[in-house]
Amino acid sequence: MGRWIPYIVVSLIWLALSWHAAAQHHYRRLLWWLGCWGLATLTWTPVAFSFGSDTVGQVTTHWIAGGIWVLRPFERASMDTSFWLNIVMTMPQGMLLGLNWPRLRWPQWLLAGLATGLTLETGQAIGNWLVSLGRWVDINDVLTNCLGIVLGAGLMWWVRQRTQVRK
């Protein structure tokens, strides 16, 4: 049960932010906070999902602060199905970024993507250290999460451009 405490605390924060957005009738912002909660659910629970091959022993790993860390990006064995799913996982949040803050441009998308990837992986690292969460902290996840945010925001920008041309 103790391994769930960080996720429960974060969920209560997301719930409060979502409730506030809904009470203010800011439904786009509500979707943003629900998206943040969804990413936290996928990355900060003590339930690990594996969609790739067995990469243990094939990827250079380090045991740091109660968890396995991957610090070398783009090793061949680490570019499995889960590598690509990390991009897909964060694209909706990138689209919500573009929907909520349409004046942002690609440098801000890149910063938001890096912040997202670093936040998710830092949360996993802290969870490993505090409650033995059992999640891998992977530089590839930071990079793929960032790419997903940028692609999602770019897709939303493209949709906006196409709808403006039609008007």
Which pLDDT tens digit goes with each residue over 122-142? 999 999 999 999 899 999 999
pLDDT of residue 166: 77
Nearest to 35 by CA among 83, 98, 79: 98
Segment 72-87 shows an average pLDDT of 91
pLDDT of residue 92: 98
Quick: pLDDT tens for 14-52. 999 999 999 999 999 999 999 999 999 999 999 877 665
Q: Quick one: pLDDT band at residue 57, thresholds 50, 70, 90?
A: low
d(Cα 32, Cα 14) in Å, to the nearest integer? 10
Residue 159 contacts residue 31 (beta carbons within 8 Å): no
d(Cα 105, Cα 6) in Å, to the nearest integer? 33
Which residue is it, tokens 């809904």?
22
